[in-house]
Structure 1
């Protein structure tokens, strides 16, 4: 039918008439925003749609020039989408990813005083649409930028799965310069947006001597400072607060004062130039994260075996437990070549399957203790390890080896 998002239409359905603005829809229904502000979804079967008014075409903003400034470091911005690269169309209420690196520089002109920026749009998606192949493309792009002389790389990313991507990059790239992931909890056109502060703090870290993969996000409810989190130890712990990101089982690496841009180290870190650039981007996507709950059937393991999966991270209770009914099925799967890693549903602490008999039996069945790794970090590491290893036994050894600060052998929190 001859209408698109943003158009005003009249819909007649079963004798009733609806007039409103066409909203985005991922189903076979037409969704309208009514004058009341409420939305209604209508099946197109037996529906008459009349176009009343075309959506106005927004004027294209004038593009500012971004001249090269001698003496400033070179920073590459890799755009993947997400809220930091989104704006709200208040006419329809839709949120869309549409900012490029140049859009970010136009919106935050202070960035140009800090470095020379160039950008690449790798994707314009929300972070729930990320997958292993996306991480690989991102790792290769970051590798190319650093190889071509970038002094630092900033990755703009949606917040919901940013921890997964940060972990994936941490394992796939050994980097002598900073790779900083940054996002926003509020879109750029909202008064409470955190995108400018997060981006400016991320740029400061990208210029700094903090090498490796980090996540930079708000550290306080006010616009006071950002924290620098290790890419393998950070999790989004709140759905909407600007302070959602926190380091788990370790303190943050550093604190960035927003007013002064001063970076104050909190823990040790790999410094700029201490390691050589290396790309190790093979990933095995046939891995799963399974969260155990009381009464859960072990049939799920049989399902993944039948589907050809090569590894599973079990998110067990407490010190790392699942029902004793699961143990024979896990043993059958490990004998068939699958790799199992145990993580905990608890936010803090570490796995220890040598305390209770269930844990001891899990170890005998071939399960690898995930130590204090976050479940999502363990999943990404397992995908990476199976992509690098020659066989399951080598992958198991890799899961017990520290590559990117993902395991702390001594628990302090």
Structure 2
């Protein structure tokens, strides 16, 4: 029999369920394996089957027949609700989960990864955490980091502020790694904190033997108990489980797709190293101590900010498009010291005339923007383009969103962008920062 219905109807017609062992016949070929769950956005005309070889295949259901070989159970993800013990002698740490690989688990029978861990599951999957603190846990979101949005930064900042007001001695945020440095920058601008706020994640899911989640989570809790009252990212400092680094939330960037030590401080040094459960703060870093600040929350942001990378052949249409569409600010990733083709300069002038700040950063990442060196750069300065100094492009983007939330006046936004609000730029760049 030929079926052209969707996969759900197909499964109902043959009495199949996720986890069942099935056989699918297609012309003179048959496939036997375990029926897997499918992504919500997958093509609806296919089944996904795990073969005995361990490989997963997709089979188009058109012109196939199927038979049930053995009933199975749909994988159950998570540990269920259990009470986390409280010890009055320990500090109180808030763990907030937003999703990502650190909050995912793998079903080893099927090989499917589910971003469905709760913050409570993180504690139960890493029982050693209970040796260090009491925990208030919550799952704020359950998303992969590519789905993070500026509005979610606002919600996270508000939840963190509430937890600190309620007595949290430190906060740990579990986050996907791909956009972690955007979130760490956003929280750095939105929050002035009296306690540590530590963002962490994993390159491999929490329950895998090769996962980096356990060390990252434990060291994040150690950091959240420390005297360092700033927004930091805590991730592996090497490929092994030897130590982690704390990076300033506005100076950090993901630099490799898969390495455990993917996060690096850019134009800066890591502000601390955690090894053998001890935090060693960089003696050259003038850090904010626990309790030095009163809690302040400022989540006003402007989401309509463009982020444009310059490239050979780029035309002014890229700039004009954003102006015509009502964007309130633009961040440009220029080349070298902060350059773009001369063809764009008239469009930058139009942006200035229409009160749209344009901030110049560099694709080089290391070093400083300096538009005074070459004539093109000076021409760019003449039409009001603002230097991003030595900020990463991502931090510059986040800061401009936040700055435009404080004011829509060009001069005021320029002043904010060139004021060091959360340690986002350094007074000078050194060779040591490049070689770290």
In the superposition, the TM-score normalised over structure 2's length comes to 0.89
Residue aligning to 1:81:
99
Matched, 1:290 2:318: no
Matched, 1:56 2:73: yes
- Offset at residue 393 of structure 1 (A): 2.3
* CA distance in structure 1 between the aligned counterparts of 2:149 and 2:81, rounded to whole angstroms: 33
Matched, 1:265 2:277: no
**Structure whose alpha-carbon radius of gyration is higher:** 2
Residue aligning to 2:371:
353
Matched, 1:376 2:394: yes
Counterpart of 1:407 (choices 425, 428, 435) is 425
Deviations along 1:66-119, whole A, 9 cap, x unmatched?
A: 221012111111110111111112333321112222212212222112111011
Matched, 1:32 2:54: no
* CA distance in structure 1 between the aligned counterparts of 2:89 and 2:321, rounded to whole angstroms: 58
* CA distance in structure 1 between the aligned counterparts of 2:379 and 2:184, rounded to whole angstroms: 33
Residue aligning to 1:397:
415
Residue aligning to 2:109:
91
Residue aligning to 2:239:
221
- Structure 1 unpaired stretches of 5+: none
User: Contact 2:198/2:220 (CA < 8 Å) preserved in 1?
Assistant: yes
In the superposition, the TM-score normalised over structure 1's length comes to 0.93
Matched, 1:312 2:330: yes
1:408/1:62 Cα in 2 relative to 1: closer, same or farther (>3 Å)?
closer
* CA distance in structure 1 between the aligned counterparts of 2:301 and 2:408, rounded to whole angstroms: 13
- Offset at residue 365 of structure 1 (A): 1.3
Greater alpha carbon shift after TM alignment, 387-396 vs 361-370: 387-396
- Offset at residue 186 of structure 1 (A): 1.2
Q: Specify the SS of the correspondent of 2:157.
A: helix
1:54/1:377 Cα in 2 relative to 1: closer, same or farther (>3 Å)?
farther
* CA distance in structure 2 between the aligned counterparts of 1:357 and 1:369, rounded to whole angstroms: 15
- Offset at residue 54 of structure 1 (A): 5.3
* CA distance in structure 2 between the aligned counterparts of 1:47 and 1:92, rounded to whole angstroms: 25
* CA distance in structure 2 between the aligned counterparts of 1:129 and 1:115, rounded to whole angstroms: 31
* CA distance in structure 2 between the aligned counterparts of 1:239 and 1:302, rounded to whole angstroms: 33
1:397/1:11 Cα in 2 relative to 1: closer, same or farther (>3 Å)?
farther
**Correspondences of 1:102-113 after superposition (within 5 Å):** 102-113=120-131
User: Contact 1:34/1:40 (CA < 8 Å) preserved in 2?
Assistant: yes
* CA distance in structure 2 between the aligned counterparts of 1:368 and 1:345, rounded to whole angstroms: 16
Deviations along 1:95-145, whole A, 9 cap, x unmatched?
A: 111222221221222211211101111011110000001111100000110
Residue aligning to 1:176:
194
1:42/1:364 Cα in 2 relative to 1: closer, same or farther (>3 Å)?
farther
Counterpart of 2:248 (choices 223, 230, 241) is 230
Q: Specify the SS of the correspondent of 1:283.
A: coil
* CA distance in structure 2 between the aligned counterparts of 1:43 and 1:302, rounded to whole angstroms: 45
Q: Specify the SS of the correspondent of 2:171.
A: strand
- Offset at residue 364 of structure 1 (A): 1.1
- Structure 2 unpaired stretches of 5+: 1-8
* CA distance in structure 2 between the aligned counterparts of 1:111 and 1:393, rounded to whole angstroms: 48
* CA distance in structure 1 between the aligned counterparts of 2:65 and 2:345, rounded to whole angstroms: 58
User: Contact 1:313/1:341 (CA < 8 Å) preserved in 2?
Assistant: yes
Cα RMSD, aligned residues only: 2.1
Counterpart of 2:140 (choices 90, 100, 122) is 122
* CA distance in structure 1 between the aligned counterparts of 2:143 and 2:99, rounded to whole angstroms: 5
